[in-house]
Every structure is written in structure tokens, then in C-alpha cells.
Chains A and B, each alone.
Chain A
Amino acid sequence: DAGVIQSPRHEVTEMGQEVTLRCKPISGHNSLFWYRQTMMRGLELLIYFNNNVPIDDSGMPEDRFSAKMPNASFSTLKIQPSEPRDSAVYFCASSAATSGSTDTQYFGPGTRLTVL
């Protein structure tokens, strides 16, 4: 079975450019998460969707970040405009949890973003 799929795996862009990260969750999972991993802050939750609806976006750092989930099999995380401090590894994860509950989260391979 395919796991969580993320694209691109690596992204190098210049400051001020728009960046879009993509995620395909595991089929049948109804919860989707976006995380960011940095040396300073470790792994932190950016946003949580359940049944395609954003439930918790309190981790989104600022208005430059936005996330969408137009259907059960696709989500995007967009940064516009990007800044060098956005350089990090961004992970998407999915789980079969119902809203608010806990279940094992399965992570994708991540997108390594470098903003010059």
C-alpha cells in the first residue's frame, strides 16, 4: 500500500517567491496534518484537517502560510512570499482518527525547503 506521498521532495527558491507543497494522504484516512521540522523548534504541528475541514491552524506561523484540502486525497501548503527563515523540512501526515481523537499518524517523506 502506498504511504503518504509528498511532492516535491526538495525545493530551492528565492526569497519572495511563492512555494506550494503537496500531499496525498493514505486512502481512507480522514485526518491530515502538516508539520515543520527545524533545528531550533523541532517538529511542530502547523495545521490539522479532519474530513477536509481545517480544525486547528493555531500552529501556522503567520499569514504568509496557508493550507487547503479541496478533497480527501489532496492537500497543499502554500507560503507566499517565502523568506529564508521558512527553510525547513515540511512533513505531511495522515491518520484514521475521527475528529479530535488520537490514532497513529503516518508521515510522508517530507519536503526539504530552502529559501535563499
Chain B
Amino acid sequence: DQQVKQNSPSLSVQEGRISILNCDYTNSMFDYFLWYKKYPAEGPTFLISISSIKDKNEDGRFTVFLNKSAKHLSLHIVPSQPGDSAVYFCAASKNDYKLSFGAGTTVTVRA
């Protein structure tokens, strides 16, 4: 039973434009959310996180937005760069060690 869903398996965006990745969750007990980025033949690397007490967290070109009432979060990448081409995983936890991951969204940034 997937508690974290990324309904878009892929996203193609032009360099310099905004990438918006979406994630929905079903478990209302989740209160900590993360995005991981993964290149081929590498492990996922932590990108950005947000606690449920916030609705926005920003780190450079990356911003995560959380809408608790809709059980929805999104990752914005502005501007998108070729090096951003990767698989992005959304993950959620009840502020403990156990992360539930989405299936991932493959982002391709076109030059």
C-alpha cells in the first residue's frame, strides 16, 4: 500500500525554466517530508526537507511547499539546469527513522 505517491513518472523541462514536482501522501500522521535526488548508478542523496509546522522551505534554487490539508507537497527548481536531470524521490516519516518513499519522478532538463 503506497502511502506516498508521485503520479508523474517523468518531467521534461527546458534549461532555465521552472521544474515542479508533485507528491501526495495518504497518512495524516506523517509530519516530516524530504526530497532525495538520484543519479544513475548512485544512491539517493538528500536534497531538502520540511517539517509539518512549516509550509515552505527554501534552499538556493530548491523550494519545497507543503499543503497539509491537501496532503500534498511539491518541489520547485528554479532555474532548472542540465545537472538537475535525475530521478527525484519524495519521502515522508512520522518524524522517526522510517521513511516511506514515492516511486520517483525522472526529470530531464533540455538544453
Residues of A participating in the B interface, judged by any CB pair closer than 8 Å: 4, 31, 33, 42-45, 48, 50, 55-56, 91, 93, 95, 97, 100-102, 104-110
Distance (whole angstroms) from the CB of B33 to the closest CB of chain A: 11
26 A-B contacts (beta carbon < 8 Å): A4-B43, A31-B97, A42-B2, A42-B101, A42-B103, A42-B104, A43-B101, A44-B101, A50-B97, A55-B97, A56-B97, A56-B98, A91-B43, A91-B44, A93-B43, A97-B97, A100-B96, A101-B96, A102-B32, A102-B95, A102-B96, A104-B46, A107-B43, A109-B41, A109-B42, A110-B43
Q: How far is the CA of A73 from the CA of B42 in the complex (A)?
A: 21
**Residue B63 lies at the interface, judged by CB distance under 8 Å to chain A:** no
Q: How far is the CA of A109 from the CA of B104 in the complex (A)?
A: 17
Q: Does B20 make an interface contact (CB < 8 A)?
A: no
In this complex, how many residues of chain B approach chain A with their Cβ under 8 Å: the count is 22
Considering the chains assembled together, what is the distance between the CA atoms of A43 and B2 in angstroms? 11
Closest to B43 in A: A107
Contact present for A105 and B45 (CB under 8 Å): no
Evaluate whether A45 and B98 lie within 8 angstroms (CB atoms) in the complex, with A4-B43, A107-B45 already known.
Answer: yes
* Contact residues in A for B89 (Cβ distance below 8 Å): 43
Residues 63-101 of chain B, each 1 if its beta carbon lies under 8 Å from chain A, else 0 = 000000000000000000000000001000101111101
Give B49's nearest chain A residue, CB to CB: A104
